[in-house]
Amino acid sequence: MPRWERPLTDDRRAKLLGPWMTLALVVGSVIGSGIFFLPITLAPLGPSMPFGWLVSGVGAMALAYCASTIVSPDGGGLQAYIEHELGPYAGFVIQWATWCSTWAAMPAIALATASALTIIAPQISGYVVAISAAQIVVLTAVNLHGVRSVGGVAIVTTAIKILPLIAVAAIAMVLATTGGPLHPLEGPPVSLDNIATATALCLFALTGFELAMSPVGKIRDPERNLSRAVLLGVGGVAAAYLVATVALDAVLPAASIAGSDAPFAQAIGTYWGTAAGTLAAIAMAVSAFGALNGGILAAGEMLYSLALRADVPVIFARTNRHNAPYVAQLFGGAGALILLGLNASKDTASLFTFIILLATDAVLFLYAAAAVAAVRKRPRPMTIAAALIGLCFVAFAFYGSGLEAAILAFVLLGTGPVLRAVLNFARRRGSTPAAEAS
């Protein structure tokens, strides 16, 4: 019997993530730093921007619905959910690509947190890499203390990160009801090309919910709690993004947004004072910090899942007294620090960019697999419609990211089977001990 399917004792059940922590993990994984800087690039598109959010929201909700459909009562994590419907090989390949994507993105998220802090304190700009490294170390330590500690951080950071979005919407509402100055959506007229550009910019701001689907045997009643959290989380975030960005465009002129380093903090500071603007900038940093928390959890859990099946060396399946896969977590944290160090060197910055570009498209394979798996599990009209929308969304995302990124993503996908074949050959030669997944 796989480890995650063993009967739960009352003590172990109490240590699992409940519905609120699971929802916080979903929302916290989706809302990172991108939404706070995205209006800078969306502002020139003017009235096409809301349509971009609508199209992206529909695509993300279709994918979230498909993902929620394949969650099984065993709570075995992403790899288990895929392999239940598409087989163990598909489960491995998709898990490998998603792990690579998650792990490679961790340094970028850490850098986003540190960069947000420089808005408040420009004098620390020379210590961005050191601050980023400290975050990875601290959050790896939190993850080693168990999933409840991760969930606690998720709840706190999620509560803080949504405040700037709410604040800007509140400012726009007050201005609208009091007859204050509101700016129209300025820019070129609505066109198919502009909507496509806006959609391409928005779509990745709505991804990340897959990180909350990675824990292996650590979510209470996953078929109910995780499925609901994915749907409610993605739907709520999509609606919040649409309202907040439209409100921001109404509060500040498009030229001010396009020329701002932190448009949300600028809008809040303009109407509520410098102190409020500073607090908004802090919330932006907390937002990225919370997303990093979910990324570190997911990277460790995915590697742990692969090790349980002996798809990678079984040492990564070891857990501590908190039921945390400590070897997998430490490996992910160490790897993230190495990538961060590569970024710190001007000679290797292009390598870091290459890795991030490669990782960005890799997660799309998971979304496509989830859509296909959902149809196999529940071939109903609504599921089929959602899967078709989701697959079109994935195809559009590949198209929007460019040919080079798509090719690199397929190369990354192919490295997993090669690694697996090498490990299997080594086992047959007797140089690697046989692994047990139970």
Note whether 203 and 289 are within 8 A (CB): no
Q: What is the pLDDT of residues 293-345, one digit of tens each?
A: 999 999 999 999 999 998 888 999 999 998 999 999 999 999 889 888 876 66
Give the other-Cβ count within 10 Å of 117's Cβ: 22
Q: 3-state DSSP call for residue 273?
A: coil
What the block records as the tokens of 18 is 């409940």
Report CA-CA distances (Å) from 280 to 49, 247, 263, 283, 286: 23, 16, 10, 5, 10
Q: 3-state DSSP call for residue 101?
A: helix
**pTM of this structure:** 0.85
3-421 topology per CATH: Amino acid/polyamine transporter I (1.20.1740)
With CA atoms as reference, report the closest residue to 182 among 279, 265, 267: 267
Q: For residue 276, what pLDDT is reported?
A: 93
Q: For residue 261, what pLDDT is reported?
A: 79
Cα end-to-end span (Å), the chain:
5
Q: For residue 357, what pLDDT is reported?
A: 59
Query: Which positions of the chain have pLDDT values less than 50?
Result: 4, 7-10, 432-438
User: Where in the chain are the domains?
Assistant: 3-421
In angstroms, the CA 255 to CA 352 distance is 32
